[in-house]
């Protein structure tokens, strides 16, 4: 015959669990407050570190269409020429054009001390060069002149 151990009875286990729960219940809403060992006073709550500022992305370059209209007999044979000026928003950019199958690539730069006036020069893949001077009338519109190395002269219109 098996003897029942009174310590293992279901009633005793239930009472033990209930006692444990009764002891833990007052501690449910408590938390530990750190104490400064030097003063015996509670430590102030920690201060969150300021969020690191993320630098803003630099503005993306802006491209403007440009048109070169013939101004003299040497330019008349080319007709209207399309070009593109890309502004890096730091006072300079790139300049591209195609005249009579020759591709011109170069730089556009604002004149020192002038927020409006600039020059654009391009070298052609066949040895010619194109030199332009312009004035921006607004942030997106400008006019000027361009001279091709063979003497052709164009009126330059930048913008939409």
Taking the domains of the chain in order of start, what are their residue ranges? 62-153
Coil vs helix vs strand at 50 = coil
Which runs of E-coded beta strand occur in 27-141? 62-70, 81-87, 92-99, 102-110, 117-124, 129-136
Asked if residue 152 lies in contact with residue 73, where contact means CB atoms within 8 angstroms, the answer is no
Number of H helices, E strands in the chain: 2, 8
Task: Report CA Rg, the chain.
Answer: 40
| Confidence class for position 4, pLDDT limits 50, 70, 90 | low
CA 85, CA 101: separation in Å to the nearest integer? 19
> Which pLDDT score is estimated for 67?
96
Q: Take residue 23 and report the two structure tokens written for it.
A: 């002891």
- 49 bridge partner residues: none
| Confidence class for position 133, pLDDT limits 50, 70, 90 | very high
Sign of the dihedral defined by the CA atoms of residues 82, 153, 142, 92, in that order:
positive
pTM above 0.75, yes or no: no
DSSP state of 35: B
135-159: pLDDT as tens digits: 999 888 999 999 999 999 999 999 8
């Amino acid at each position: 015959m098996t003897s029942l151990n009174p310590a293992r009875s279901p009633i005793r286990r239930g009472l033990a669990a209930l006692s444990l729960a009764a002891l833990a219940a007052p501690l449910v809403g408590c938390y530990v407050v750190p104490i400064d060992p030097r003063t015996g006073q509670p430590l102030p709550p920690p201060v969150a570190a300021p969020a690191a500022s993320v630098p803003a992305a630099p503005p993306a370059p802006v491209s403007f269409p440009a048109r070169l209209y013939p101004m003299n007999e040497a330019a008349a044979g080319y007709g209207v020429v399309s070009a593109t000026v890309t502004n890096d928003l730091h006072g300079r950019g790139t300049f591209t054009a195609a005249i009579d199958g020759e591709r011109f690539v170069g730089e556009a730069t604002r004149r020192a001390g002038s927020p409006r006036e600039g020059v654009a020069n391009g070298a052609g893949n066949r040895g010619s060069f194109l030199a332009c001077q312009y004035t921006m009338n607004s942030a997106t519109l400008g006019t000027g002149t361009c001279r091709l190395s063979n003497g052709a002269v164009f009126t330059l219109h930048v913008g939409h």
